[in-house]
A = this chain, B = another copy of it.
Amino acid sequence: MTRVSLTWPGRARRRPAPASLSSYSEEAPVSLVRGDGAAVLGALASLGAQATLVYVDPPFFTGRVHRTNARSRRESGEREAFSDQWSDLGEYLEHVEALLVAAREVLAPEGSLVLHTDPRVGHYLRVLGDEVFGDGAFVSEIVWRYRRWPAKTRNFQRVHDLLLRFVRDPSATPRFHQRHEPLAASTAKTWGEGRQRALIVDGRRTRSTTTDEPSPGAPLGDVWEISIVAPSGHERTGFPTQKPLALLERLVDTLTDPGDLVVDPTMGSGTSLLAAWRLGRRAVGVDLGDVAHELTARRLERAGVPFTRVEST
């Protein structure tokens, strides 16, 4: 296959200065690391950590500074949560590329990277991911479809995000738990709740029948309807780009086993850590920001999740 890749003037493949971690323990159920995402992933990899899921939720190249919202403002005023300003698209892509390269190093062969992005910049990240992970590693584009207050625009309302899944080793059997969703209304009407089976006569398929065995439903697809975190919802932490727990729980549930390691170098308010802990997985979250660490710590304490702080230097 001919290599197709992205170029831009002055494209650099920078490696972050490697970090070193004090007091990281493989066994800790939940660890919070303050530091640069890519550098800390590299440090985890060199300590021999093997993640089954790395969830990366970088900025979406919006050109904005994102600030805390109402829930957090009440407690400590409006503050900058993270900046999403870049000199150009190339600089942004170099930032994400460093995360992808480091994420790949920490992944177990049967593990997956899930890169959360949006349809304005996600296509560039797919191409970047193909470069980093190689042919055949891109296995799913998950569409997260949500509902929100409509914007006044002469265009279709943007009501979805993209989650790009790459596997570490396309030749390995990936971790995957088959889950099901309800049958389509038309199917239930025609076929009832029984599993369908084709009737083969003389080696030729003639027609289908229903069986007595109940159908588990349709195998889970790649378009997921999940509610956003409501502005006044109990789940809301105040972090501006918070993702729903239900979304992260579905990823963790389908892509990891209990006891596996989940790593998030873009911790934010720690949704992935909470999802992992609730499902009995170990988790490491990495973030540079004060707001992220404060909100995550408060959230985990309230949820009764024991966690360890790890310093990186």
Residues of A within 8 A of B (CB): 1-9, 88-90, 93, 119-120, 122-124, 126-127, 138-143, 145, 147, 150, 154-160, 173-174, 176, 178, 184, 186-187, 218-223, 227, 254
Decide: B176 and A155 in contact? CB cutoff 8 A.
yes
Instruction: List chain B residues, Cβ under 8 A from A143.
Output: 143, 145, 160, 223
User: Would you list 18 pairs from A and B whose C-beta atoms are within 8 A, ordered by A residue?
Assistant: A1-B88, A3-B8, A5-B7, A5-B8, A123-B123, A123-B126, A124-B127, A141-B160, A143-B160, A143-B223, A147-B187, A147-B221, A154-B173, A156-B220, A156-B222, A157-B222, A158-B221, A223-B223
Q: A143-B160, A154-B173 are in contact. Are A5 and B6 (CB under 8 A)?
A: yes
Nearest residue, chain B, Cβ from A118:
B141
Give 7 nearest A-B pairs by CB, closest first: A123-B126, A119-B141, A2-B88, A159-B221, A123-B123, A154-B176, A156-B222
Decide: B8 and A7 in contact? CB cutoff 8 A.
no
Q: How far is the CA of A7 from the CA of B7 in the complex (A)?
A: 7
Instruction: List chain B residues, Cβ under 8 A from A93.
Output: 4
Q: A139-B155, A154-B176, A223-B145 are in contact. Are A9 and B3 (CB under 8 A)?
A: yes
Instruction: List chain B residues, Cβ under 8 A from A160.
Output: 141, 143, 221-223
Instruction: List chain B residues, Cβ under 8 A from A178.
Output: 154
Instruction: List chain B residues, Cβ under 8 A from A174.
Output: 154-155
Nearest residue, chain B, Cβ from A227:
B186
Q: A6-B5, A147-B184, A223-B223 are in contact. Are A155 and B126 (CB under 8 A)?
A: no
Q: Name the distance in Å between A121's Cβ and chain B's nearest Cβ.
A: 10
Decide: B124 and A122 in contact? CB cutoff 8 A.
no
Instruction: List chain B residues, Cβ under 8 A from A227.
Output: 186
Nearest residue, chain B, Cβ from A90:
B2
Q: How far is the CA of A43 from the CA of B89 in the complex (A)?
A: 36
Q: How far is the CA of A123 from the CA of B303 in the complex (A)?
A: 39
Q: How far is the CA of A237 from the CA of B7 in the complex (A)?
A: 43
Which residue of B141, B156, B219 contacts A157 across the interface (Cβ within 8 Å)?
B219
Other 4 A-B pairs with CB < 8 A, given A123-B123, A143-B160, A160-B223: A1-B88, A4-B93, A143-B143, A157-B220
Instruction: List chain B residues, Cβ under 8 A from A4.
Output: 6-8, 89-90, 93, 124
Q: A5-B7, A8-B5 are in contact. Are A156 and B142 (CB under 8 A)?
A: yes
Decide: A140 and B156 in contact? CB cutoff 8 A.
yes
Instruction: List chain B residues, Cβ under 8 A from A254.
Output: 156
Decide: A127 and B6 in contact? CB cutoff 8 A.
yes
Instruction: List chain B residues, Cβ under 8 A from A145.
Output: 143, 145, 221, 223
Which residue of B8, B122, B223 contacts A2 across the interface (Cβ within 8 Å)?
B8
Q: How far is the CA of A173 from the CA of B140 in the complex (A)?
A: 35
Instruction: List chain B residues, Cβ under 8 A from A159.
Output: 221-223
